[in-house]
Amino acid sequence: MKNRRRNTLFFIILAGTALCSVTLAGGLLYEGAAAADFAQKNLPPCPAHPFGTDWMGRDMLRRTLAGLSLSVRVGGLTAAVSAAAALVLGGAAAAFGGWVDALISWITDLVMGIPHILLIILISIACGRGLWGVTIGVALSHWTSLARLIRGEVLQLKGAPYLQLARRLGVSRGRLVKNHLLLHLMPQFLTGLILQFPHAILHEASVTFLGFGLSPEQPAIGIILAESMGYLTTGRWWLALFPGLSLVGAVMLFALAGERLRLLLSPATAQD
Amino acid sequence: MEPILTADHLSVAFTRYGRGLSRIALSALTDLSLTVDAGRVTALVGGSGAGKSLLAHAVFHLLPRNAHTAGTICYDGAPLTPARARALRGREISLIPQGITYLDPMMKVGPQVRRGRRDGMSRARCREILARYGLGSEVEELYPFELSGGMARRVLIACAVMDSPRLIVADEPTPGLDSQTAGRVLAHFQELAEQGTGVLLITHDLELARTVAHKIVVLREGRTVDEVPAALFQTGEGLTHPYSRALWQAMPENGLIVDREVSVL
Amino acid sequence: MILAGKNLTFRYPRQKGPPPVDGVSLTLSSGERIGLAAPSGRGKTTLCRLLAGWERPQAGQVLLDRLPLAQYRGFCPVQLLWQHPEQAVDPLLRLGTTLHEAGPVDRGILDGLGIRNSWLERYPSELSSGELQRICLARALGPGLRFLLCDESSAMLDLITQAQLWSFLLSQAEERNLGLLVVSHHAALLERVCTKVVSWAELVESSTSPGTAGGCG
């Protein structure tokens, strides 16, 4: 039988390396990505420009890498913020109960009730668009389902006989949280965190694509795709195809890594 | 008397992850051999962790994916392959699982016992069986979460005997039932056996086993150590295997005596 | 010492129907071993949870030498030995961690219960209920223990483990003058290990007539 742990570890290292190198490369190419060269404009893919060039002669490979790099960074930041918010809010709701629980659950329902895209656009506009607008928008709209999950988990743990027993045996509150609660929440938290990434990246790209996110001079995938729409009818397919595929690839890497991690950490499939 | 189920040198091992990436194999059943005769109640008795339930799960091919089995299981004279087990289970062979969580939480009791059939005969049979275990027709309209532990267990048993199977494997069917209901359930097992069904009763309760079963198979740490007529456990005389003797002595009514030689493993 | 539950009434939140424990009184003194037999579903487990301080009764109170049990901090002198040992230990912790979590357990107790060192490296799913119940009992037998409530503690165990646990527990009870409440529907077991056996009905009646001091013979 296949060793799932080894496969997962291998895959996560692979995905991590790929994403890190994209992020690094994109960061390094950031300056070059905006450099226009009108002598080289509208070139289809060729050895010098594997992804082609656009109407300003900018190299599409550089732009795509820079865009992906920005997406991964935004995704990472927002996923981390929203997962942390989910942990704190979900944990607090379950631990304190009463009106705290009612209030947090009400906010969760409220945020969940509004379509994601709409909420992100509203928050993004309210925060003055741009990089921070999108980041805050995505971070504030993605914590809900994980918060619910964690709330349920903590509620269940609170009633578990082994925690009741540990308390009556004189184990301190701090140790209960450290030894038991956090250990039990770790799988949900980690899986939730990694699965947040693709969501965040896609939402960032789509809000930018719709024109409510990053500004046009920034090398974002959403901007590239929005611009390329104007040229598709003139036959410049490379402008949309390669950046789009790279976005799908990055998202798939995260989603697959998260899914594998989930299988590994879930008790039902952990020993397969 | 022909055997309906035979397990021959059955072993089950699990692989699980150790620290880091290493995998270790844990053997749970090492050498289990038993026969269940048609028309008889056979009891499989053993301590917790001796691997009793694994036998049931191996027969019905319900073991998790990280389990590896060796040895043979024959039903009605032919090997019980996964495909055959799938085809037969629920019809000719049925399992009464240990946990009451095996009921479908989204389905009312009636349809669950009838497996969705709506014809008059199924309905009548369903009502008859539930009534036999002291459950009225109103129970058919309840969902599993509305049942008490004892009621849920009786519904599970009703599901298993609905289609008059030829082999019933009952995995710890009585905990949670008061003595009167337990007696009724066990009497029904005996009655089914008289009609020709083979019953395998898996239990840790020797008291219960010796009152219902014809034959008792003793399991210890994954291997069968003794197979004796149940009558021997009434008086304790004629029990030759030291472990069986120790079990008998450890019964509260026989003194709750700890046999030092057996307990020190 | 005396552990007394007086006129206890308890119902779980959002529970329908009559409360599982309704006007129940029980007095248990050090050195006494009371057996309680009752049909299932009559609130025996709930009574044990109340007496061990896991839940607070809606009416009545649990007193330990005239002081409310809730006032005791740290290791509670009243411990509950849970029916399902696999629910009583954290599935994600090695048993060594679980065992010594609330302070180191005396070597003599570990030896007396036959707990092997190799178990402590393992996770609960790798041990049988019998082995887990020994660990739970070892934890409960801490130096501060005065009363132990055994709620069908050996119902799921095989006979030999059951006999071993009881012989060790009885020797400890004698030696340390512990009070035991043994809930079981195994009449022969109660007969064997208890100094007196009461029925559920007696516990309910005793609280209505103050003349008969609740359950204490």
- What per-residue confidence (pLDDT) applies to A99? 93
Q: Looking at the complex, does the CB of residue C88 fall below 8 Å from at least one CB of chain A?
A: yes
> Are B66 and A3 an interchain contact pair (Cβ–Cβ within 8 Å)?
no
- What pairs with residue C67 in β-bridges? C64
- What pairs with residue B203 in β-bridges? B45
Look at residue C67 and tell me whether its pLDDT is greater than 80.
Answer: yes
Q: pLDDT grade, residue B265 (50/70/90)?
A: very low
Residues of chain A with pLDDT under 50: none
Q: Which of C39, C158, C167 sits opposite B258 (nearest CB)?
A: C167
Residues of B in contact with A3 (CB under 8 A): 21, 23
Which pTM was predicted? 0.78
Residues of B in contact with A5 (CB under 8 A): 17, 21
The residue whose two tokens read 């509150």 is: A173
Q: Please tell me the distance from the alpha carbon of residue C131 to that of residue C135, in angstroms, as a whole number.
A: 7
ipTM of predicted assembly, 2 dp? 0.86
Q: What are phi and psi of C61, to 5 degrees?
A: -150, 160
Q: Please tell me the distance from the alpha carbon of residue B192 to that of residue B180, in angstroms, as a whole number.
A: 19
- What per-residue confidence (pLDDT) applies to B1? 67
- What per-residue confidence (pLDDT) applies to B44? 93
- A2-29+58-265 — its CATH code? 1.10.3720.10
C19-29 CB burial, b ≥16 within 10 A, e <16: bbbbbbbbbbe
- What per-residue confidence (pLDDT) applies to C114? 87
Strand ranges (DSSP E) for B47-142?
67-75, 78-79, 93-96
- Inter-CA distances, A79 with A65, A106, A126, A197, B13, Å: 20, 22, 21, 6, 41
Q: Which pairing describes strands C179-183 and C147-151: parallel, antiparallel, or unpaired?
A: parallel
For B106-164, write each residue's pLDDT tens digit: 888 999 898 888 888 899 999 998 998 888 888 888 888 888 777 888 888 889 888 88
- What per-residue confidence (pLDDT) applies to B261? 58
Q: Please tell me the distance from the alpha carbon of residue A7 to that of residue A13, in angstroms, as a whole number.
A: 10
Angle at B45 between CA B101 and CA C158, to 5 degrees: 80
Q: Which of B46-55, B134-143, C146-155 has the lowest mean pLDDT?
A: B46-55
Please report, in angstroms and rounded to a whole number, the separation of the first and last CA atoms in chain A.
Answer: 8
- What per-residue confidence (pLDDT) applies to C212? 42
> Are B17 and A270 an interchain contact pair (Cβ–Cβ within 8 Å)?
yes
For B160-207, write each residue's pLDDT tens digit: 888 888 999 998 887 767 777 788 888 888 988 998 899 999 988 888
Q: What share of chain A is helix, strand, coil (3-state, %, to 5)?
A: 75, 0, 25
For C83-136, write each residue's pLDDT tens digit: 888 889 998 888 999 998 888 888 999 999 989 888 898 888 778 888 899 999
- What per-residue confidence (pLDDT) applies to B6? 92
Q: Looking at the complex, does the CB of residue A164 fall below 8 Å from at least one CB of chain B?
A: no
Closest CA to A203 of A144, A115, A127, A262: A115
- Average pLDDT of B33-46? 91
> Are B17 and A6 an interchain contact pair (Cβ–Cβ within 8 Å)?
no
Say if residues A219 and A67 touch (Cβ distance below 8 Å). Answer: yes
Q: Please tell me the distance from the alpha carbon of residue A53 to that of residue A34, in angstroms, as a whole number.
A: 12
Say if residues B46 and B114 touch (Cβ distance below 8 Å). Answer: no
- What per-residue confidence (pLDDT) applies to C217? 32
How close does chain A come to C148, measured CA to CA in Å?
Answer: 12
Q: Which pairing describes strands C21-29 and B198-203: parallel, antiparallel, or unpaired?
A: unpaired
Those residues with Cβ within 8 angstroms of residue B169's Cβ, 6 or more apart along the chain or in another chain: B56, B59, B60, B93, B94, B95, B96, B200, B202
Please report, for chain B, how many H helices and E strands are present, in that order: 10, 10
Q: Please tell me the distance from the alpha carbon of residue B60 to that of residue B180, in angstroms, as a whole number.
A: 30
For B3-23, write each residue's pLDDT tens digit: 899 999 999 888 877 766 777
Measured between CA atoms, the residue of chain B closest to residue A264 is: B17
Q: Please tell me the distance from the alpha carbon of residue A219 to that of residue A31, in angstroms, as a whole number.
A: 10
Q: pLDDT grade, residue C215 (50/70/90)?
A: very low
Phi-psi region of B173 (alpha: psi -120 to 50; beta: other; left: phi over 0): alpha
- What per-residue confidence (pLDDT) applies to B253? 82
Query: Listing from the earlier edge strand, what are the strands of the sheet with C59-64?
Result: C21-29, C2-10, C59-64, C67-68
Q: Looking at the complex, does the CB of residue B48 fall below 8 Å from at least one CB of chain C?
A: yes
Give me the helix-helix angle, B149-161 and B120-132, nearest 10°.
130
Which two structure tokens, joined as six digits, stand for B60? 């019905």
Q: Please tell me the distance from the alpha carbon of residue A144 to that of residue A134, in angstroms, as a whole number.
A: 17
Which two structure tokens, joined as six digits, stand for B183? 């007696």
Which two structure tokens, joined as six digits, stand for C21? 């424990």
At B46, the amino acid letter reads: G
Q: Looking at the complex, does the CB of residue B18 fall below 8 Å from at least one CB of chain C?
A: no
Which two structure tokens, joined as six digits, stand for A83? 């997962």
- What per-residue confidence (pLDDT) applies to C209? 53
Please report, in angstroms and rounded to a whole number, the separation of the first and last CA atoms in chain C.
Answer: 15
Measured between CA atoms, the residue of chain B closest to residue C163 is: B256
Mutate to test the interface with A, among B14, B15, B16, B17 (most CBs of A within 10 A): B17
- What per-residue confidence (pLDDT) applies to C122? 83
Residues of B in contact with C162 (CB under 8 A): 250, 252, 256
Residue A93 CA to its chain's centroid (Å): 24
> Are C90 and A166 an interchain contact pair (Cβ–Cβ within 8 Å)?
yes
Say if residues C179 and C72 touch (Cβ distance below 8 Å). Answer: no
Which two structure tokens, joined as six digits, stand for C10? 């308890």
Average pLDDT, chain C: 86
Those residues with Cβ within 8 angstroms of residue A43's Cβ, 6 or more apart along the chain or in another chain: A49, A52, A53
Q: pLDDT grade, residue B259 (50/70/90)?
A: low
Q: What are phi and psi of C24, to 5 degrees?
A: -110, 135
- What pairs with residue B14 in β-bridges? B26, B67
- What per-residue confidence (pLDDT) applies to B164? 83
Q: Please tell me the distance from the alpha carbon of residue A83 to that of residue B110, in angstroms, as a whole number.
A: 44
Q: Looking at the complex, does the CB of residue A271 fall below 8 Å from at least one CB of chain B?
A: yes
Mutate to test the interface with C, among A156, A168, A178 (most CBs of C within 10 A): A168
For B150-165, write each residue's pLDDT tens digit: 788 888 888 988 888 8
Q: Please tell me the distance from the alpha carbon of residue A94 to that of residue A68, in angstroms, as a whole number.
A: 38
For C15-35, write each residue's pLDDT tens digit: 777 788 888 999 999 999 999
Mutate to test the interface with B, among C159, C166, C199 (most CBs of B within 10 A): C159
Residue A195 CA to its chain's centroid (Å): 7
Closest CA to C98 of C71, C54, C146, C131: C131
